[in-house]
Amino acid sequence: MKLNELAPVPGARHARKRLGRGIGSGTGKTAGRGHKGQRARSGSATRTFEGGQMPIYRRLPKRGFKNPFRMEFAPVNLDRLQAAVDAGRIDLGKTVDLAALRAAGLVNKHLDGVRLLARGELSAALTIEIHSASKAAIAAVEKAGGKLILDQPREEARPEPQEPAQQRRAAPRTAGETDAADDAPAEPGADA
């Protein structure tokens, strides 16, 4: 078997139906679309049409939305962190980052980062560099004499939101600025 001999199984690939190729072809003239009508025209979309009844995509309720910028973190609790320290899987002299947590078996999934949660207690003074942590977890790490460095690379990569064009155009005037319309004399009879 050679690369140039690779081919689909016979019968798996069907020849395309050649439409509008003369009366003898069987699909000439109207090309199988019949005479007039909606489906005889190009661009007809009847796939979701249900004979006039309310279509299913309008009958079903719509709730919420899916945030495309949602960040999903792998949770790591204090008790599991302390257990890894006690078992010798985490070195007290080094910074505990994502690679160290992965090597210790505390993080398996490839998500947006790691979030430290406050279940259990931590007695080891660790320098932890992760992406997110709860307030209680931060307090527990600092109480044990450790330090927490939070780093969120995806947040920094996001562009700053721009102000709407209407606000940019309608910039506030300073006290000395006036419009030409303000200086123009009032038309006679405008007060009436």
Distance, CA of 162 to CA of 160 (rounded, Å): 6
Q: Which pLDDT does position 46 carry in this prediction? A: 84
**In sequence order, which residues have a C-beta less than 8 Å from that of residue 20 and are 6 or more positions away?**
27, 28, 29, 31
Answer yes or no: is pLDDT of 137 > 90: yes
- H-helix or E-strand spanning residue 133: strand 132-133
Q: Which domain holds residue 112?
A: 73-154
* Whether the predicted pLDDT of 180 surpasses 80: no
Within a domain: residue 140? yes
pLDDT tens-place string over residues 44-80: 888 888 989 999 999 999 999 989 998 899 999 999 9
Is there a domain that residue 48 lies in?
A: no
Examine residue 185 and state whether it is found in any structural domain, yes or no. Answer: no
160 pLDDT band, cuts 50/70/90, is low
Residue 28 inside a domain? The answer is no
Q: What is the mean pLDDT of residues 91-119?
A: 91
- The owner of tokens 């560099």 is 129
Residues 6 or more apart in contact with residue 172 via CB below 8 angstroms = none
Q: Tokens 């599991």: give the residue.
A: 80
In a domain, 142, yes or no: yes
Q: Which of 102, 118, 120 is nearest to 110 (CA)?
A: 102
Name the phi and psi angles at 176, rounded to 5: -85, -15
Contact 146, 128 (CB under 8 A): yes
Is 121 among the domain residues? yes
44-53, 115-124, 137-146, 180-189: the lowest-pLDDT one: 180-189
Give residue 182's pLDDT band: very low, low, confident or very high (50, 70, 90): low
Report the domain count for the chain: 1
DSSP category for residue 39: G
Give the integer Cα–Cα distance in Å for 42 and 104: 61
pTM, two decimal places: 0.50
Q: How far is CA 106 from the centre of its chain?
A: 26
Q: Is residue 87 part of a domain?
A: yes
Residue 155's pLDDT band (cuts 50, 70, 90):
very low
Percent pLDDT > 70 in the chain is 79
| 11 domain-assigned | no
Say which CATH number the domain at 85 has: 3.100.10.10
Q: Which conformational region is residue 59 in: left (phi greater than 0), alpha (psi within -120 to 50 degrees), or beta?
A: alpha
- Torsion over CA: 100, 104, 109, 115 (sign): negative
At 48 the pLDDT is: 87
Percent of the chain at pLDDT > 90 equals 59
